[in-house]
Amino acid sequence: MTARVLTPETLRNIVLVSNPAITPDGGKILYTVARINIDADTYESSISLLDVATGFEEPLQQGPSDSCPIPAPNGRHYVFIRRVERDRKQRGQPGLELRFASIDRPGASRLIARVHGLVSVSWSPDSLRLAAAIPVGLPDEDVKVVETLPVWFNGKGFIYKTQVKPFIVDVYSGYMEEIKLDDVKWMQVADIAWSPDGRKIAVTVSRVMEKPYLRDLYVYYLDEDRAELVAEKLSGFGEIVWSPDSRYIAYLGHRRERGFATHNKILVFDTEDRGSEPECLTCSLDRNAVNTANSDVRFSSCLKKLQWTRKGILFVASDHGRAPLYSVEPGSEPTIVIDPGEGVVDEFSATPDGARIAYTRMTATEPREVYVSDGGNARRLTRHNDTWLSRYKLSKPEKFVFKASDGVEVEGWILRPPEGVEEKGWVLYIHGGPKTMFGYGFMHEFHVLAGRGYTVVYTNPRGSDGYSEEFADIRCRYGERDYQDLMEAVEYVIERYRLPRDKAAVMGGSYGGFMTNWIIGHTDLFKAAVTMRSISNWISMYGTTDIGWYFVEDQICCTPWRNFEHCWEKSPLKYADRVKTPTLIIHSNEDYRCWLDQALQLYTALKLHGVETRLAIFPNENHDLSRSGKPKHRVKRLQLILEWLDEHLAGKKEEEKAGREAGNA
Ligand SMILES: CSCC[C@H](NC=O)C(=O)N[C@@H](C)C(=O)O
């Protein structure tokens, strides 16, 4: 009997659980449940309410496009987002509704505001108003006349006329008023937070268009209708949270000590001692204080990545493929409060006293479910994925560690085909970033590959997250130590796991696509390659994408006018004339992170150099096709990958050719 294994279509089984928002008394958890409807080609999301004591669950909002519940401090109300369909005539109309509802009245809700997006919301302590960061300004309908940077942004489209501004919104009347920050002409607000004493609103904002990664921290005093600058030129994530006494602000980010390779840290600013240096609470940890574990089964969330409870500041950090929840207080060292074992704490929210924490956890073999922890006792509250999972065979990845040639330990995992599945070959899968990590996030795609008979090997080479800041820092040196780590990993697994040298493929997305392109230009070891949302030319990358001009300068250490030669040396396209590996190129036509030109240039070069190549362009998709693309496109993408591997590793093409020839004879 053949084993029942994950296939592209089993995406439909996965229930995407997100946004576990606990009420202030710790009695209830509001969260989003999303299903992937392949036939209707849509994600259907609703909001559920969990009673923590009994585990009893009831629907709060039926959907089909409701998400992001945020409970009010009074514990009785909440706001959420409803996505509304717009027909062609309504183009330009806001696609999101911000709604207000009572926890004890399932199904009912009232419209507060129609918006084009919502970057962040924070309740006033009296539960009457919200501080909200809202995008305003639309692109021209027809000819686009542009005078700003960037022209477009991945997942958002043409944003050249869009600014994200801070507002105060009355949840009862819907009355909105912009918060005026002194001297800020152009702005992109990253986060907003209402102080517990109700008197102040903190805002982090980018105000230099050419350097949008720099953020300033403001405090707006409601009584005086006046904003003051607290800190300048911060970078990183940009999330903020107030201390319970409304004096300090914890900022999640950094000062770019190692450019984009810098770990996000918790920096605490004293708003009553302006100009004083912030205290860094996580510097000793030397880990990125956000979760960067890769997974392709997440759904949008509005929960903050930081929370300051009366027991300390909670945050998740990336560590060796895992993501524990930590707590830290000024003057102390971070300690783990929720250890997810071989898993990741994906999102969390806590009661103000810090006594109870709701969170989602996932592992490499289980998508997210909701858990609750009361000071050490963790309980799982939902089982959305248990039944279907019990009907399928999923293998468990095995971790390996090897010493790279410079003596540094590098980690990786091997996922074998489930028992009963014929082994056809293996794949080296390279993650994006490069500052993200593989580890204990659920990857449907990996189980699909394994289900088809392909062992998946995935590692965290130099440049990855989950280790020290130094480990993540490969600036100016792409294609050097990272490439070596990967190729040394290949030799290690071939020997240790007896993997066939002549049945290997390489694949990856984004930076992983860059590295795939680089690898096929530097070795002929692989029998096939799949390069997705990839980078092939740093020179054109610089001027065509949403983050290109500053990402390239920081990571590759060149611009088209400075070190041009270095930009070209580090571009896989330079080595395209050496490539022999059959290569499948997958790209989305609205990928404004790594624009389509990256795929086209590679495709043309490979074609002209006689390399077997196939190019798949996905319409109306962006850089996140594999994670949040239209369900039918996600299925198609996986099918294309499997076909390519079958043709090149499992000899499907030869078999078909032989069959055709036999038929003709
Ligand atoms: C200028 S794009 C550089 C690559 C990209 N980095 C940041 O967005 C990337 O690798 N993204 C990863 C996270 C991915 O898409 O998987």
Helix, strand, coil percentages in the chain from 3-state DSSP, rounded to 5: 20, 35, 45
Q: pLDDT tens digits, residue range 138-179?
A: 999 999 999 999 999 999 999 999 999 999 999 999 999 999
The residue among 19 and 658 whose pLDDT is bigger is 19
**Overall average pLDDT of the 371-376 stretch:** 91
**Is residue 191 within 8 Å of residue 204, measured between CB atoms?**
yes
Closest residue by Cα to atom 9, ligand 1, is 433
- Element of type H or E holding 614: strand 613-618
Retrieve residue 208's tokens: 């230099």
The pLDDT > 90 percentage for the chain reads 95
pLDDT of residue 89: 67
Task: Ligand 1 pocket test: pick from 437, 510, 621 the residue with the most ligand atoms within 8 Å of its Cβ.
Answer: 510
Gyration radius from the chain CA atoms: 25
| Listed residue (569, 612, 45) closest to 302, CA to CA | 45
pLDDT of residue 656: 79
Phi, psi angle pair for 130, to nearest 5°: -125, 145
- Establish whether residue 629 lines the binding site of ligand 1, counting it when its CB lies within 6 angstroms of any ligand atom: no
Q: Is the peptide bond before 434 cis (omega within 30 degrees of 0)?
A: yes
Is the confidence at residue 46, as pLDDT, over 70?
Answer: yes
- Establish whether residue 435 lines the binding site of ligand 1, counting it when its CB lies within 6 angstroms of any ligand atom: no
Is the confidence at residue 560, as pLDDT, over 90?
Answer: yes
ipTM: 0.97
Q: pLDDT tens digits, residue range 624-642?
A: 999 999 999 999 999 999 9
CA torsion through residues 636, 417, 414, 499, sign? negative
Burial of 161 (0-12, 13-18, 19+ CB in 10 A): middle
Atom in ligand 1 nearest the alpha carbon of residue 294: 16
Residue 357 half-sphere exposure toward CB, CA atoms < 13 A: 30
Atom in ligand 1 nearest the alpha carbon of residue 509: 16
Q: What is the pTM of this model?
A: 0.97
DSSP letter, residue 59: E
pLDDT of residue 2: 55
Task: Ligand 1 pocket test: pick from 534, 553, 593 the residue with the most ligand atoms within 8 Å of its Cβ.
Answer: 593
Atom in ligand 1 nearest the alpha carbon of residue 545: 1
